[in-house]
Structure formats: structure tokens, C-alpha cells
Amino acid sequence: MIETNSILVAMKRSKWERDILRYGSEEYVRRLYRLQNVSCDKIISSHDRQHLAFDKIKSKLPQAVFAFREELHHIDFSRIHAMFILGGDNHFVYVSHYATSQPVLGLNSDPHTSSGALLSFSAEKFADALPESVHGFSFETEDWVRIDCNIYYPDGRQTETGPGTSEISIRNSFADMMSRYFV
């Protein structure tokens, strides 16, 4: 049984939130969207749906640890026994790199605009399936193979990729140039 206070809910910020943080004000972001011919209403509607999903999960799992992706490097993962990733596929892949042995569950924060091939449920359907008072979880898990590799460069540098979830691409950054790999 996994206690709810050892569950990490890793959230992604909405485009609206990221743009306000990046550009400094709602007024500037609205002006930028107009210049780019981007629908501000669509982006704000998606933002609202994502926050409703977050609020629903938070109301069912108030003891869980909640963190945005940029806060993950501050988390003591030895105390985390399961990860619920609230966002889309790219967020799922990014956050899953932090998982070592923890089971990971992907929750789509806005199924209205994203299908999420790697995500098991919409956050709303998942929250609706939970009883009013949740104290712990038992999981039936499916094992996924993840690849971890080191890249050795001719100049002696070395890069560790960390465990890859979903995909890994080994290629030259210039598609028309020849590459040689020892795997």
C-alpha cells in the first residue's frame, strides 16, 4: 500500500502561465498573442481546464506532494513511492526521468486539446474514480523498458543521458553528414 503523502503529483504550467512568467505581464502576453495571431481565448480556456484538473486532484489527494517541473530537482525522491504526472506526453517523458523505481501514472490535464498517447487517464476521470477519502493506493503495474546510455565524444567529453522513457534518438545534428556509432 502506498500512502498518499508519499505520492508526488508533478504538474506542468499552462502556456498562459509560462508566457506570463517569461514576458512579465498579462497585458504584454495578450498584445504578443494579437501580433502572432494566436487565440488568447483558446489558451486561457486551456489554462482554466488545466487548473480545474489540478484542483480536482488536489481535493482528492490533499496529503500528496505537489510540485511544478522546475521544482523537481528540490524533491527528495527517496521519500516518493509513486508519481502522478499531470500534463501531456512531453511533460510525462520529462518528469519520468526522475523516476527510479517508483510507479508512474500519466494524467492528461487537458484532454480537450491533447490526446496524450502515454497518459493513462484524464485527470478528471481519475479523480472521479477515487473515493472521497483516499489514504493509500495499491497498483497493478506494467513494466516499461527504459534505456540509459553514456555518450563518449572524440574530444574526451562524456554525457550521461539518464533513463529514457518513450524514445531516444542517436543522430548527427547535421542530417546530411555521416555518423559512426558504437552501440
pLDDT tens digits along 64-79:
999 999 999 999 999 9
Which residues have a Cβ under 8 Å from the Cβ of 147 and sit 6 or more positions away? 161, 163, 164, 168
pTM of the shown model: 0.77
pLDDT tens digits along 18-62:
999 999 999 999 999 999 999 999 999 999 999 999 999 998 888
Going by C-alpha positions, the residue among 81, 120, 71, 118 that lies closest to residue 101 is: 81
Greatest Cα-to-Cα distance within the chain, rounded to the nearest angstrom: 58
Which residues have a Cβ under 8 Å from the Cβ of 100 and sit 6 or more positions away? 77
Domains and CATH numbers, the chain: 2-12+47-137 (3.40.50)
Going by C-alpha positions, the residue among 71, 58, 54, 106 that lies closest to residue 85 is: 106
- Looking at residue 115, what is its pLDDT? 76
